[in-house]
Amino acid sequence: MLNFLNEKFFRYIFVFLLLNSAILPLRASSALAAWALKNNGVLELRTKSDANLKAFFQKANQIYGDRFWIDFPGELKNPRKILGNGPIKEIRLGKPIKGKTRLVIEFEKEINLKPLTWRMIGTDQNTWRIKLFSPNYSFKTIGEGIVRKKAGNIKVDKKSIFINKRINDFLELPEVKRNKFFVIVDPGHGGPDPGAIGIGGIKETDVVLEVSKIIKKLLSEKGVKVRLTRNYEVDLDLPQRVDFANRFNSDIFVSIHANASRGKRKDINGLETFYFRGWRGRTLAKRIQRQILRVSPGSPDRGVKQGRFYVIKNTKMPAVLVEIGFLTGRLDARRLEKKEHRKRIAYAIAKGILEYLSKTG
């Protein structure tokens, strides 16, 4: 897998959809049984088994238009190309690597796609659908085979898999004046204080420290001076964090946390950002909240709120506290336990910070 933080790869968008089902052994034939791209912009798929699917999106370049593709276990016997119509330039079915089948949809250029809103829904164990676009023009259905649910009394398994983009075409990091700004990033908790303990024993202190280190790297690459209140698992009191920020007279202070619900209710999920006072703090919070919601579609928007947390109440500069999800929530915890999602969250927070700094001087 490519390194998310290596900027030479930031020309591309790589999107991953992972099913919760177990990865099945590869078979001689492809798990893809039938597919159809309907004239309403919906791609429908039928697999031969409860397959583990991976989907990707890549922005247009000088050679190709925007491309969306899905990899299936098992090998396709006959690779082929199908000429598209309307917004679709071409559809290709091939064998990218041994043991895999790939269905690629390449779009004509200048098509307004919104991959941040995409999600794939399983209507049963073998059929899937995802709305890729809303056609404003004549478009004929393209497909092979019959896509339909199995006959009989089948319990519908409504799995939703959200597409999360990973790089700068949607999350392009703004430019700011180099060596002008100073940011303090505060990974919450640490040492003997693990913070929230979530599903499967995931610890807040581990998640927020990793996210904070990525934020520091991204901001530093843009010429922003960054310090973390802690770089490892150490016991750090709240007054020490505030004194640290005030002593360095930083431009902004951003504290990173993860939530837990009372009673550890798995149905409670969501993202929220707090500020204490002033339009600058509120503006910074809004910038960050907007971006973290974009990389975690489906997580409820719990909003931008005023809060009286010690670390944002007592700092002298605009300060926010970001709650990046509920470690006790079924949806958020499943995402936050994955390194790729932590990178996306860090990237989003970095973008929110840079957007704010770019507008303040």
Using one digit for the tens of pLDDT, what is the confidence trace for 129-164?
Answer: 899 988 877 889 999 988 875 544 434 344 444 444
Using one digit for the tens of pLDDT, what is the confidence trace for 15-73?
Answer: 333 332 222 233 347 889 899 999 999 999 998 876 777 888 888 877 788 899 998 88
* CATH at residue 172: 3.40.630.40
Check whether 9 has a pLDDT greater than 70.
no
> Which residues fall within 8 angstroms of residue 174, CB to CB, at 6 or more apart?
351, 354, 355, 357, 358
**196 and 327 inside one domain:** yes
Instruction: Using the 3D structure, point to which of 162, 192, 219 is the last residue of a domain.
Output: 162
Helix axes 339-358, 278-295, angle to 10 degrees: 140
Instruction: Using the 3D structure, point to which of 103, 136, 162 is the last residue of a domain.
Output: 162
Check whether 89 has a pLDDT greater than 50.
yes
**225 and 352 inside one domain:** yes
pTM above 0.85, yes or no: no
Structure confidence at residue 111 (pLDDT):
79
The verdict on residue 2 lying in a domain is: no
**92 and 136 inside one domain:** yes
**335 and 204 inside one domain:** yes
Cβ contacts of 230-235, under 8 Å, gap ≥ 24: 230/186, 230/187, 230/190, 232/190, 233/190, 233/191, 233/205, 233/209, 234/190, 234/191, 235/190, 235/191, 235/192, 235/193
**207 and 240 inside one domain:** yes
**67 and 131 inside one domain:** yes
Give all strands (DSSP E) within the chain, no chain letters.
32-37, 42-47, 54-58, 67-73, 80-83, 88-94, 100-107, 119-122, 127-131, 142-144, 159-162, 182-187, 225-228, 252-259, 271-275, 301-306, 319-326
Task: Answer yes or no: are the C-beta atoms of 296 and 341 closer than 8 Å.
Answer: yes
Q: Which residues pair with 123 in a beta bridge?
A: none
Rg (CA), the chain: 23
The verdict on residue 101 lying in a domain is: yes
**157 and 297 inside one domain:** no
| DSSP codes of every residue in 108-155 | PTT----GGG-EEEESSSSEEEEE----SS----EEES---PPSS---
Dihedral of the alpha carbons of 338, 12, 30, 95, in degrees to the nearest 10 = -140
**264 and 331 inside one domain:** yes
Choose among 78, 341, 114, 325: nearest CA to 210: 341
The verdict on residue 188 lying in a domain is: yes
